[in-house]
Structure 1
């Protein structure tokens, strides 16, 4: 795991470039504290930067890696962030084919595969990665991001050149990068959901998951081609794999065992994150069986029993014989400087302070001597785990037409009303056009948008014009991947393309883990597991209202009975309004970042209307509405803090 950055600047490359590159590397220190490397080429006007967190090949594998072959051809240069699994087998095949290796690093296989297969090399890569290859013969920079966007990678093109980085702060460390915020992106962050590829900063873009960029120099300018090499393609409705239940169960079990085994491989100790959900518990159980020795398990515990899952996690740890470490997080831990640090590392706003809690956990894990954890993200996305997914299944699938299952589920999940579950139905014509219905997962954020719009200043509204963020999200989806699909497949696909990368894997994953130099490896998001999951029939993923049924059955032998039977419970931190200590802490942030001076400087909100909304929130005891106000306040504070912190 590492940080990468760089610039290709035909018109601005100078004696100052190396000093600028050093500052860009400084901004990525947390991603790679074990070393740094540079490739400076004044003839090509190119600088490539790498900061290293050493996981594999501890004494060999410094980057950039140069790809000159034994016959003198090549001259390729690689900087990579992440892990390539199954690399030992691929190294053996490549050696047999006449390719030599100069390091023990897994990253070097990308160079050899590119030399052998050209741009088709990405289909041979398995893992979590974001990397760049410079090809001097073709005058091209090849930039690749993994299939789900587990690892971040951003870019900017202007007259000053082409710039990139694992984090935007590394790019902004260069004086030629614009720092202007995009009003449309600010609105999207206020409602939580971003358009794929969008960032808060104008003209700075994220490479989309499953995509590569081919950047070709054309004199002093660049031609940028975006190419999709993978997508979460569900089969047409009725064309899923028609197999006996036991075969589906066994295939899932085998795929997960292989994925977890790959992610246990490292030259440093590997731990597991453990919550009270079946995903992390399944991973811990399988890791213990594969490793055949106690696994270190790290658990977050909140000071509110309604949101705390530590007791269930402990039951799983005892069953697996794991060495459990519980980090107990108090109300005051989630705000103040910790909140601001989470904003700094995430480079975006967040609706819930779970990201703050996970950042504190990553710090705790590294302080206990671990650099790598295996995590459970992705299971809900692939196997139909979220309540919002079931809500649409119950609502739109004829099998549930006369059932009260949807209403029963909402009652059981009432605590999440106002956040991940909408308290009333709402629709949008763009989603009706693209998907045939408005998915339940976006409806809470549409309700947030309804609450936000009246608080905006006239100046900010003028900047937005008639821009419709919900329509922009809907039209960003590839309709050809939705047409003819089952309703469950549609909602899973739309979530994977938006919220998985923009939320779960960002401020809930890589960005807050790597804030403390911790590599997280989500085993369910191995693309071999994913491609298997996509072909499983909806009624096997969700059976008789039981989410992730096939995963439960596959992992039944390692799960405690209470967990095997437990309904999915959204993992989030208690919102600010749930106790006086949290309310007092968020009030301090309001005073610092939402005061008259800050509101006037940023021009996003109408001060009188925002203050009236805050006073109403302080006096209200409506849980759903206060949860929504918590969301708005979290976003508003972060938006005002962002440019000062980064």
Structure 2
């Protein structure tokens, strides 16, 4: 895993400043501390840079990027991992192609030369973001993996296209202005983002499973966007009738292959381990194919209602893993909140993001660079309580009223802690999403339900911009009806989650950004696209059977999981909210006082200080219901995050910070 950056000028003759490219690499040194490189040939108007984290081919010079290949006609820079690349290299070498390194990255320019981009992308397996410039076409390609595991941001200035692995990399270019977008601010306050957007005006993301082709035409950029992959659930009623064993064995086979591929590295590989069946399944399979005990990293919280360490320990003992438990309390979580926002570049509703950052720091301190993780399982196999709710409300016609009553009571009782976050406190319906999906998925309702909070919180000077703004409409516009029409309700709910919460939350502030903050590569085996394509074919009743979510995965991992885990109901992994004890609340209040003072609020025109005071008073009122407090806790975290975004990226000159970082590293050219 690494960090990439680049500049594509409006005219081939426009020079690309070498130091700017190096600064863009330096500001993401945390993503790639092992080496750096840059390339900007004269009279081509294109340059790229790279900060390298050595995982495959540790040779310092041989694996250096950007690659400048095929007689100087292709420039390529890559962040991520390609699995099964050895087979592809062998096939290409047999056709006479010469490789300059042992890196997995180098397969892409060679494949492109042989097959073009349309032929290359279906062959790539893994998590990746890359840029490729083709001199013959005078075209820049920006490509992101199928689920958005690896980030890729871009913008257009007066003079060029600027891209990079993080927003701060784009802001390191002196021509890019840092400004909070009002609609982006709205979505920061309600947690759920519009796919492809950021909090910053003019800075976009390449969407998962998409490719941009940017060409120059007389000083103007032409941007062509192509979707090359999506979660394609079968039309309702078209799944073939198969025995349960077919799906159970299929999941087992596909997951074993995905895990085995991700154990390939030239450095030690560990596993993240919580008390859920997802990470436990990964550890169990990895242990079976690994000669030595695998290092298993577990987070333990200082609140037993949210802590899963004991269950994780049972799993670790069952496979003789070398478990390493990191104990986290309020001091550690809130003392690292500001640093976390510097890396996430978006707000967070819960300190789980901070916990993940602290864990990746611990992993680095014990000299590990790579871990396998369990993200993606809930998305593929319907593990979240919101999916179960949608399954029973919309996917089971004619359900007996008494059975429905019992089901609802069990769901609410077992997930009481997460009402207002993982489950809606109140029902929320968006007419625009209803028109596109058929209903408003439960996963979006808690966050869209914060819209009125957001409208009151946004500074009066900005309210005209959101007077008629409907966040549900903006989200619905980005959902592809082709993959929603005539699908089962559970398929629809999972599709919407994957397009919104998976990429915008779990893989961002819960994944890459807090992992790579400490130069640590996370490999989510469940998000192998071969496994995902198989999972699409699994009938809804094999994903949720009765009150048992992820039924097919449980059956596939029977024998790998201890009995306790096999039978355990899904428990959402979440850090204890601030209102759950006074120490945490006082820590949050101290951060609000420091970064969200009346003076800072008055000078930024972002947040309405009067309404914020009303929310804080409501949070401190003992009469406020717990579900309301969960929701307000999330909103207050978002407010703090917004002000930290301003503190880190608006109040400071990021381009100057990038140059100073390059100087401190000795990267001056």
TM-score (ref. length: structure 1):
0.97
Residue of structure 1 equivalent to 2:5: 5
Residue of structure 2 equivalent to 1:75: 73
Residue of structure 2 equivalent to 1:465: 467
Q: Larger deviation: 6-15 or 463-472?
A: 6-15
Residue of structure 1 equivalent to 2:546: 544
CA distance in 2, matches of 1:406, 1:645: 44
CA distance in 2, matches of 1:242, 1:332: 54
Q: Tell me: CA distance 1:196–1:168, structure 2 relative to 1, closer, same or farther (3 Å).
A: same
Residue of structure 2 equivalent to 1:17: 17
Q: Are the counterparts in 2 of residues 156 and 205 from structure 1 also a CA contact under 8 Å?
A: yes
Residue of structure 1 equivalent to 2:163: 164
- 1:617 to partner: Cα distance: 1.1
Question: How many equivalent pairs are there?
Answer: 641
SS for the counterpart of 2:201 is coil
Q: Please, which of 479, 498, 512 is the counterpart of residue 500 of structure 2? A: 498
Q: For 1:230-249, what aligned pairs fall within 5 Å after superposition?
A: 230-249=229-248
Residue of structure 1 equivalent to 2:578: 576
Q: Please, which of 85, 105, 108 is the counterpart of residue 107 of structure 1? A: 105
CA distance in 1, matches of 2:291, 2:253: 17
Residue of structure 1 equivalent to 2:378: 380
CA distance in 1, matches of 2:241, 2:339: 49
Q: Are the counterparts in 2 of residues 460 and 605 from structure 1 also a CA contact under 8 Å?
A: no
Q: Please, which of 93, 96, 114 is the counterpart of residue 94 of structure 2? A: 96
Residue of structure 2 equivalent to 1:254: 253
Residue of structure 2 equivalent to 1:644: 647
SS for the counterpart of 2:545 is coil
* Greater relative CO (CA pairs within 8 A, separation 6+): 2
Q: For 1:439-588, what aligned pairs fall within 5 Å after superposition?
A: 439-588=441-590
Q: For 1:136-285, what aligned pairs fall within 5 Å after superposition?
A: 136-285=135-284
The answer to whether structure 1 residue 355 and structure 2 residue 353 are counterparts is: yes
SS for the counterpart of 2:51 is strand
Q: Tell me: CA distance 1:312–1:149, structure 2 relative to 1, closer, same or farther (3 Å).
A: same
CA distance in 2, matches of 1:472, 1:28: 31
Residue of structure 2 equivalent to 1:44: 44
Q: Please, which of 328, 332, 346 is the counterpart of residue 344 of structure 2? A: 346
Q: Deviations over 1:540-587 (max 9, x none)?
A: 111122111110011111101111001110001000001111011001
CA distance in 1, matches of 2:208, 2:408: 32
- 1:16 to partner: Cα distance: 7.7
TM-score (ref. length: structure 2):
0.94
Q: Are the counterparts in 2 of residues 242 and 537 from structure 1 also a CA contact under 8 Å?
A: no
Q: Tell me: CA distance 1:15–1:220, structure 2 relative to 1, closer, same or farther (3 Å).
A: closer
Gaps of 5+ in 1: none
Q: Larger deviation: 252-261 or 461-470?
A: 461-470
Q: Larger deviation: 14-23 or 301-310?
A: 14-23
Q: Tell me: CA distance 1:12–1:450, structure 2 relative to 1, closer, same or farther (3 Å).
A: farther
CA distance in 1, matches of 2:457, 2:201: 23
Q: Are the counterparts in 2 of residues 241 and 537 from structure 1 also a CA contact under 8 Å?
A: no
Q: Are the counterparts in 2 of residues 273 and 375 from structure 1 also a CA contact under 8 Å?
A: yes
SS for the counterpart of 2:185 is helix
CA distance in 1, matches of 2:540, 2:5: 41
Q: Deviations over 1:447-498 (max 9, x none)?
A: 2222332333322211223111121112211112111000100000001011
CA distance in 1, matches of 2:319, 2:463: 55
- 1:435 to partner: Cα distance: 1.1
Q: Are the counterparts in 1 of residues 295 and 321 from structure 2 also a CA contact under 8 Å?
A: yes
Residue of structure 2 equivalent to 1:35: 35
CA distance in 2, matches of 1:242, 1:359: 45
Q: Please, which of 602, 626, 629 is the counterpart of residue 629 of structure 2? A: 626
CA distance in 1, matches of 2:266, 2:395: 48
RMSD in angstroms over aligned alpha carbons?
A: 1.4
CA distance in 1, matches of 2:343, 2:398: 43
CA distance in 2, matches of 1:231, 1:209: 9
Q: Are the counterparts in 1 of residues 157 and 175 from structure 2 also a CA contact under 8 Å?
A: no
- 1:14 to partner: Cα distance: 7.1
- 1:11 to partner: Cα distance: 6.0
Q: For 1:47-62, what aligned pairs fall within 5 Å after superposition?
A: 47-59=47-59, 60-62=62-64
Q: Larger deviation: 401-410 or 584-593?
A: 401-410
- 1:12 to partner: Cα distance: 11
CA distance in 2, matches of 1:455, 1:205: 24
Q: Larger deviation: 563-572 or 469-478?
A: 469-478
SS for the counterpart of 2:493 is helix
CA distance in 2, matches of 1:423, 1:54: 45
SS for the counterpart of 2:450 is helix
CA distance in 2, matches of 1:54, 1:220: 38
- 1:13 to partner: Cα distance: 8.0
CA distance in 2, matches of 1:627, 1:12: 54
Residue of structure 1 equivalent to 2:67: 65
Q: Larger deviation: 513-522 or 216-225?
A: 216-225
- 1:98 to partner: Cα distance: 2.1
